[in-house]
Structure 1
């Protein structure tokens, strides 16, 4: 068997034209497009074991996605100096591989990760979203109060069972630790939520945003999003915010590569594979 090497890929994409990350036989997905292009450049089946940090849903964007794959060492040595530019020429314009880095075999893009951070963008401008930003910014039809949004966010930070905000997956835990959740207005007046946790359940970030928005526009008290944490199943009161406002912006890993395997083992023990 050929000696193989593990590579980390840093990937960004506009999610509007994709049915999410995960491969689906009859749909256009980020993983599907990436594998097709790698097969075209390197030969079918040469790149194996594509594994991603966060399996984003349909319509969700990424500027900081991370995945890994394995290549035969001789193939990598043959192509490493020009592979990034070849991918840039052949990949569609809505997905980019920004970097390819050799990593230890113990690196696991999914299970070695220590955190994922997402941002959600909303405008409450009376005219709606700027046309050039409409694919990444949600237009909210009511004024939003920044202080109320942050008060609602405060009740969701910490380690909780987020079952009320997760799509149920059999045998999967909904216990998560949210280490950061806050809102700010950027210089253009766009409201940006930053949400960071060790991992997220499917649709969790957009569900949290949906709950905070109705507190931010005054239709619910700021304590309401936090009060839902007592539920042990998904709450029908929570509306999932649209996908196009959400972007995966960063995935964190241990600074010491020697910790990759330990972190991966710990994560596997704690939970069934998660959705990003």
Structure 2
């Protein structure tokens, strides 16, 4: 029996993790899932023939959340079949059930499926969507959301922030707002980026009209949504930090424009707090374009 590739769709509350990437002595999302995978499959952690190593669409930093993350796993067919046990379900469904039962409550498995030919969770991705949520002075702060919203006691100029955000759209070197991986670059293509306040909607609407004006949980929050083909390390949080400095009047839009034009990293363009950031979506091309996409993205970028 051969090796097969699985696609795993998942979500997690990043507040209790030191990021995605596995590290030897601290709690990470990858580390927790791989630990449980070895327990479920009864494969020794140090088995070189079956490493059970996850490859993720986008590594998230300490404290950053994901409502829809994607990773892939290469696993022996015989190993996967052992997950079924006494269940009358396909092996992928059995693995999903066992993962969900054994993983901690701050990780949820949406689905486990056999990946199509050529699929690579990281390199096949067309785009990723992140949202950063802020409760400013104009927001009705809901204490239940404190784990994934940044609270700011400030009035923000949303129009100025959107003027800055618009400068990020297109192919740019984000060297002022990001750190390259070894051997990589900070050149990325942003497809859309904007700030928007979530409207307040009535809780109940029926034949009698609007009955209650109790806001939904996210009503009045100020959200930054950004879509790009990929993101460099700390890129989204640093762009958010820059926009908020503009929105608070501490920096001008001309300053932001200069930082985009001259990719030079310095203290004023560092990342803002992580808890407001969530990876919301990862998009992939049609199955017959997956391998070509992965090959093209592996090439080092230039402007």
What TM-score do you get using the length of structure 1 for normalisation? Answer: 0.92
| Aligned-partner Cα distance in 2 for 1:176–1:32 | 28
Asked if the contact 2:8–2:109 (Cα under 8 Å) also holds between the matched residues in 1, the reply is yes
2:204 matched to which residue of 1?
A: none
- Deviation of 1:126 after TM superposition, in Å, equals 6.6
2:229 matched to which residue of 1?
A: 198
Q: Deviations over 1:23-78 (max 9, x none)?
A: 10011000000001111111225562410000110000001110000122234344
Q: Are 1:268 and 2:298 an aligned pair?
A: yes
**Superposition pairs of residues 72-91 of structure 1, within 5 angstroms:** 72-77=76-81, 78=84, 79-91=91-103
1:62 matched to which residue of 2?
A: 66
| Aligned-partner Cα distance in 1 for 2:157–2:229 | 28
User: Aligned pair count?
Assistant: 270
Larger radius of gyration: 2
**Superposition pairs of residues 97-136 of structure 1, within 5 angstroms:** 97-125=109-137, 129-136=141-148
Q: Deviations over 1:216-270 (max 9, x none)?
A: 122222343232022233132214110110000111110x211111111101113
Moved more, 119-128 or 156-165: 119-128
Q: Deviations over 1:115-170 (max 9, x none)?
A: 11100000113788422111100011211122222111111111111101112444
Q: Deviations over 1:181-227 (max 9, x none)?
A: 01111131100110111111100000000000011122222343232
- RMSD over aligned Cα atoms: 1.9
Asked if the contact 2:174–2:187 (Cα under 8 Å) also holds between the matched residues in 1, the reply is yes
* Structure 2 stretches lacking a partner, 5+ long: 45-49, 85-90, 200-218
1:28 matched to which residue of 2?
A: 27
Q: Are 1:165 and 2:177 an aligned pair?
A: yes
Q: Are 1:253 and 2:252 an aligned pair?
A: no
Asked if the contact 1:179–1:197 (Cα under 8 Å) also holds between the matched residues in 2, the reply is yes
Moved more, 150-159 or 218-227: 218-227
Q: Deviations over 1:58-103 (max 9, x none)?
A: 0000011100001222343443332222211110000111101111
| 1:152–1:31 Cα change, 3 Å | same
1:145 matched to which residue of 2?
A: 157
| Aligned-partner Cα distance in 2 for 1:167–1:29 | 21
1:212 matched to which residue of 2?
A: 243
